[in-house]
Amino acid sequence: MNASASRLSLCLLITPFALWILLLVLLPHLQMLRVSFQVRESWDTISWGVQQYQNFFSESYYWRTFLRTGLMSLFTTFLTLIIAFPIAWYIAKLARGRAKGLLFFACLIPFWASELVRTYGWMILLRESGLFSTWLQYLGFADGPVEMLYNDVAVIIGLVYNGLLFMLVPLVTTLEGMDDNLVEAGYDLGGNHFTVLREVVVPWAMPGVVSGSIVVFMLTLGSYLTPILMGGKDSAWFTGQIFTQFITRFNWEQGAALGVLLLVLSSVMVWLGLRLTGQSLRKVMG
């Protein structure tokens, strides 16, 4: 194959991806950025300014929900990592043969359904006539029906459940590549379980940890259905405010500004995570 044919093949291979990035990522975000600086003085009169961003900082409800969403997304990501890590370790290092495939398949099955269906499933379990409430009454821990929905705990449960697989996959992939002799050497040198975990396992799994954390954090930060359906009046989520501005109030300028701020927050958090862990984006996503 000559050089021109190779370049043509490369162009044909890259073109769909390039069009995807350009048409569905770059152009929509650039348009959202442009709209966020528009100031609609009347129906047919538009000027330019930073009024939408001034509104964000002047209205405490906006920036408090913004900070709250970021902090809860970080906590949800951390909790998902704590739950997923031992599961990933068992699948990657302890399970053998068919059991490994079955366990991974069991983790995959819930994601055959959409996020809406999974969220409704948790709502059925957590409602006052649901399974958990019935168990508490049967075991004598409650005198009557217990409503577990419409609070921050219910939101976090739903978000962790929806993000678990996205944390599990990179962890299993990374841990499977670790030589078991490294762990044995750690014990031979006098290390205990905690020392081996801290000095051997976690550093090796760090690319998977960072990769899964980035994906889970961004999915959680941008989640809409789970916080809206499982949260209460005190469980406001920033995506709900964006929806309200775009759909309910038809204030696209303010909604675009809030969307840009959410994008900035996710980008900054990903950058900080990479810097603090000493990882590179190429290594993490590779």
Q: Give domain status of residue 4, yes or no.
A: no
Q: Is residue 5 part of a domain?
A: no
Domain that holds residue 278: 59-285
Give the domain CATH number at 253: 1.10.3720.10
Does any domain span residue 194? yes
C-alpha to C-alpha distances, 24 to 27, 86, 186, 214, 254, nearest whole angstrom:
7, 37, 48, 21, 21
Cα distances (Å, whole numbers) of residue 168 to 7, 84, 99, 205, 208: 38, 6, 16, 12, 9
In a domain, 138, yes or no: yes
Give pLDDT tens digits for 8-64.
Answer: 777 888 888 888 888 888 999 999 999 999 988 776 777 888 999 999 999 889 999
In a domain, 65, yes or no: yes
Mean per-residue pLDDT for 213-223? 94
In a domain, 31, yes or no: no
What's the confidence (pLDDT) of residue 157?
Answer: 95
Count of structural domains, the chain: 1
Query: What tens digit of pLDDT does each residue of 83-124 get?
Result: 999 999 999 988 888 888 899 888 888 888 888 999 999 999
